[in-house]
Structure 1
Amino acid sequence: MDTEKGISKDATISEGEALKVTEGETYIDPVAEKRLIRKLDLMLSPMMVLFFLVAYLDRSNIGNAAIAGMTKDLNLTGNRLNVAVTLFYVTYIAFEVPASLALKKLRPSRLIPFFVICWSAVIIGAAFVNNYAGLIATRLLLGCFESGLFPCLTLYLSTFYQPLEQARRISYLFVASALSGAFGGLLAYGLTNLHGVRGLAGWRWLFLIEGVISMIVGLMAIFLLPDNFEKAWWLREDEKVIMRARTGNASLYQGASLSIETFDKEEVKYAFQDPKVWLSSFCQFCANTCSFGFSTFLPSIIKGFGYSSVHTQLLTVPVYIWASIVYIVVSFASDHFNRRAVFMVPMALVTAIGYALQLGVSMDKTAVLYFATFVTATGIYCVVGLNVTWIINSNAGYFKRATAIGLQQTIGNSAGIMAGQIYRLKNSEGRYVIGHAISLSTMTTAAVGYFTMFILLRGLNRKRENMSIEERIKEIDAGKMGDRHPDFRYTL
């Protein structure tokens, strides 16, 4: 059999087995493939969810700690809390592209656990800081070590799953981030009640216990995470044969560029020159402005409605659970219909309505304002997550895709610098007018960007579908690979 089609020469396939090569493409028995995907989900998804869950817990617990006494204990007067939130993203955005490009060489089974263990140690250390400078140091280090996790995980998943399977799997990461808010609220409620035990304040227990949990996850990852499907100890040889066939078929469909192993500077350059990557990155910046502001300051927003600190911790939980349920449903539908924009634009507009409600409803209508947080949460994780899936679908070639993901996340996550500042001031009613107004405008802008991307990609698909044979051969002879190949079709 042809090794370039993803099947090794020594792989034996008996009569009635799952594979058959016809005209260069490998037929895969759908029943066997479905069984394999279920196994991938069973083994990979829990690990991915755990990594992202603890990452978001450790990143956003500063919001829970702030209303549990940290602000007073560390003398976080003025805008010091906002500065601490903002500085996390300074180091976070600096290392995302290098981390995604280094993943293959440094090995996922080592690099990803390294990130988790290091930031866990930082969070444990944060439980013992005694001043503002110490808090700043921990936030800078936390951003440094968390920076590579998301681009590395999305790139890692793209080596196991085909493009039409990716939205659902990447959705698990964002569901984990949403659930981290729910778990964070519950943990904050329980752990802050340990205030005074062994002389530690409740917020210190919050950092300490969550840091220990993350450390355990990081140590487990060393032994459980394979570098790739070839080294996955939980895959049988016949299942690896199917994985090779899937990779080979995907290479045929996407311009024979997915199997490149050596570093390709040209692919990196193409990513930086691709206007679609920059448009996607700009949309991610707009959506992340809302996402980061919402996840970090939701406890403060709800407390502003007049609830106590204890009740506020609990009231954040249903909001995040609702956001998780919506995103799971939308991501499954997005994969089922193989469409992105048709879900992203409406979801962005629903979230915009939520911000409008928080701006326009009287502050004495507490129930309506609390309902508005559910409306706001409805689309936030959907648009952020599906946009990540979309950029993976829109870039073929390992290193072009790696660069595109890293660039999108670098630009998108720089929104955290702004998000940390826009929820600094309340008006006389206790409403975050500036924060809600900026979030409303950026989410509306993101909706326009998603629609523009749809029009752009649809035009490129139609152009390729209308190519003559001569034009197609000319493009291939010119060496256009990956998503520039005339056979490549963009997901809309």
Structure 2
Amino acid sequence: MTTRKSDDIQIAHDENQDLGYGAGQETYSKAVEFLAGHSSEQPDFTYEEEKAVLRRIDLRVLILVLWAYFFQQLDKSTLSYVSIFGIADDAHLVGLQYSWLGSILYLAQLVMQPLAALVLVKLPTGKVLASAIFLWGSSLVIMSSCTNFPSLLGLRFVLGSFESLIAPCCVAITQMWWRRSEQTLRVSYWSAMNGVTSIIGSLLTYGLGHIHSTVLYRYQTIFMFCGLLTVAYSFLVFWLMPDSPVDAKYLNEREKFIATERLRANQMGIVTQKWRWDHVLEVALDLKTYCWFCAILSISIASGGITTFGSLIVKSFGYSSFETILFNIPFGVVQVIAIIGAGWIATRTQRKGLVISGLSILPAIGAILMLTVPRKQKGVLLFGYYLALQVSTLAGITPMLYAWQAQNTAGDTKKKCTSGVVFVGMCAGNVIGPLLFSTEDAPLYRKGLIADLAMFVTVGVLSGLIPIYLAYLNKKHEKMRVELGKSGHVADMSMLRKNQLKVNKAAELENVPEQKASVAQDKGLLDVTDLKNEDFIYVY
């Protein structure tokens, strides 16, 4: 289908120039030209059509993201799995060397975040994701040849460098393909692969751990097997993952139009592949940036230590190596339920701050149990560990923070940079966390558990305060709209749930003014940041 570039597109370009967004229009205009060129030909889509397109997106894009995140978690977690099979003795690790093998991966991710943000702005997201999977899988395969601390440390750094792209990439893809009302659950879905990793990874490790070779240590066998699986999956992502809704070859023209048009209400901008230094400056001056950073840093310090030392902590309760591995399987099931359940509650209540604050109570109780209960009460200690890690820390809070910051940021470069800052906080926390624990502190690990308890309290308090600031920003935007002659009170169309969307398609929401702007007038299609777009509505 060919279309003539309309005057509407030129108007959109002119408005963008007036706002100071003129650079990089060749790439920017791709989605705008697609919508403007098709809006006169394509009738308004129905709720049923949108639902069908959403299902197709979930079946292709979401499933590919789910398993990409699974393999990243699997490859990252292999160190924890092999810890109970004697890697410390086989590789002659002493003192804090095992702790550093846990921390170095996140240190690499921290160092690489600025480059990751630049790569995600400049290059097609689908190709970036596939390349990253191939490279970190190859790194894990090579790591199977390492038999001492320096070589393991170096390869763990390389592994972390390539894995630094996965979480920002998953967030960028979520922002690119789904409405804001749909994003929390999608983030929960791919985060829930942590639990799936615990199940499948434990079963794989249990089986591979029984292999006794005269050539390879057991940890080398596990590294090689998981790495080769990851490399194989990367080719599937290269083949099937589209770079954007406009470029999705598996969608027809009508479906591409619906997939792109339905996201206008997000008011989060369009992918431009143009680096914007004014966006970078706004990230540095935006108070929200520091709120997200402090919250993710706190929970990552707590989760980093417990994750790296989790298997050793459970083993210290008096369980054997293979019992410890098998305990991860029911934990993984509960983790999947907890992540998706927390996402569902946050979506229904539209109050992420309160949900996170409530979730932070559970790991605090778990940490207190592990600090106070005698070692002979293995069942109670296991329950405390279950609360501190499997249900709340990774299962509820971390993915909720990913989704929360993503839904409250607009502008292509600003979105990628804010995600980068958040992941710097996540990486820094995961570097610090394992260093608060030491094998010399076994079996009580008091120093690390006390630090974790303080972090759980911190993230709970912060998450309760952030919505107050977001409410202030919404009031500020309401005032801006009134000054520009717009309606002060508007409905956030991007946060409507399925039943509300169905009503909206039929009646455009009773008692709500018409809010659907033309392609030329809609700032949701311009590369405008959330603070400069008066139509942007922050979510709590």
TM-score (norm 2): 0.83
> Is residue 200 of structure 1 aligned with residue 200 of structure 2?
no
Give aligned-pair identity as a percent: 23
Query: Matched residue pairs, number?
Result: 472
Match of 1:375 in 2: 387
2:377 matches 1:360: no
**Structure 1 segment 39-188 matched on structure 2, within 5 A:** 39-188=56-205
Shift of the 242–351 alpha-carbon distance from structure 1 to 2, 3 Å rule, reads same
Shift of 1:215: 0.7
Work out the CA distance in 1 between the residues paired with 2:266 and 2:64: 25
Paired AA for residue 432 in structure 2: M
Residue 241 of structure 2 is aligned to residue 225 of structure 1: yes
Residue number in structure 1 paired with 2:513? none
**Cα contact 1:319–1:373 (8 A) shared by 2:** no
Contact 2:121 2:416 in 1 (8 A): no
Q: Distance in 1 between matches of 2:209 and 2:369?
A: 31
Paired residue for 1:482? 529
CA 386–204 in structure 1, closer or farther in 2 if over 3 Å, else same: same
2:291 to 275, 279, 285: 279
Does the residue aligned with 1:395 lie in a helix, a strand or coil?
A: coil
2:385 paired with 1:338? no
Contact 2:354–2:463 (Cα < 8 Å) also in 1 = no
1:215 is aligned to 2:222 = no
- Aligned: 1:300 with 2:312: yes
Shift of 1:273: 1.1
User: Which residue among 400, 404, 411 is the counterpart of 1:386?
Assistant: 400
Counterparts of 1:290 and 1:184 in 2: how far apart (Å)?
22
Flag the 1:295–1:305 CA change in 2: closer, same or farther, 3 A.
Answer: same
Q: Equivalent residue of 2:37, what SS?
A: coil
Q: Which of 431, 434, 444 is the equivalent residue of 1:420?
A: 434
Deviations 1:115-141 (A, max 9, x none): 111111111111121211111111111
* CA displacement at 1:159 relative to structure 2: 0.8
Cα distance in 1, alignment partners of residues 39 and 538 from structure 2: 33
Question: In structure 1, the residue corresponding to 2:263 is in which secondary structure?
Answer: helix
Structure 1: which 5+ runs fail to align? Answer: 20-27
Deviations 1:407-429 (A, max 9, x none): 1111221111111211214557x
Letter in 1 for 2:425: I
- Pairwise CA distance, 1:261: 5.3
- Partners of 2:435 and 2:274 in 1: how far apart? 42
CA distance in structure 2 between the partners assigned to 1:321 and 1:372 by the alignment: 17
Structure 1 residues 115 and 397, CA, compared in 2 at 3 Å: closer, same or farther? same
- Residues in 2 aligned to 1:351 and 1:150: alpha-carbon distance in whole angstroms: 23
Which residue matches 1:24? none
Structure 2 residue identity aligned to 1:410? V
Tell me how far 1:77 sits from its aligned partner. 1.5
Q: Kindly report which structure 2 residues correspond to 1:246-261, keeping only aligned pairs within 5 A, or say none.
A: 246-251=262-267, 257-258=269-270
**3-state DSSP of counterpart to 1:57:** helix
Cα deviation, 1:374-416, whole Å, max 9, x if unaligned, reads 2222211211101111111111111111110011111221111
TM-score by length of 1: 0.90
| C-alpha distance 259-183 of structure 1, shift in aligned 2 (>3 A) | closer
SS in 2 for 1:414: helix
Q: CA offsets per residue over residues 248-267 of structure 1, 9 Å max, x none?
A: 3434xx5xx44655332211
The corresponding residue for 1:8 is 36
Give 1:155 shift: 0.9
Contact 1:270 1:400 in 2 (8 A): yes
C-alpha distance in 1, partners of 2:333/2:377? 23
**CA distance in 2: counterparts of 1:9 and 1:263, whole angstroms:** 26
Structure 2: gaps of 5 or more residues: 1-5, 13-31, 489-520
| Aligned CA distance change for structure 1 residues 106 and 375 (closer, same or farther; 3 Å) | same
* Residue in 2 that maps onto 1:491: 539
Which stretch shows the higher mean deviation, 293-302 or 458-467? Answer: 458-467
1:241 counterpart residue number: 257
Aligned residues of 1:185 and 1:314 also touching (Cα < 8 A):
yes
- Partner residue, 2:321: 309
Confirm or deny: 8 A CA contact 2:95 2:439 kept in the other structure: no
Supply the AA of the counterpart residue of 2:530.
D
> SS at the partner of 1:368?
helix
Moved more, 260-269 or 200-209: 260-269
Match of 2:448? 435
AA aligned opposite 1:443: F
Q: Deviations over 1:235-293 (max 9, x none)?
A: 12111111231233434xx5xx4465533221121112111111111110111112222
Quick check: 1:322–1:374 contact (8 Å CA) kept in 2? no
1:189 aligns with 2:189: no
**Distance in 2 between residues matched to 1:38 and 1:60, nearest whole Å:** 31
Q: How far did 1:336 drift? A: 3.0
Root mean square deviation, CA, Å: 2.3
Whole-Å separation in 2 of the counterparts to 1:431 and 1:242:
56
User: 1:93 Cα shift?
Assistant: 0.7
Alpha carbons 1:425, 1:434 under 8 Å: kept: no
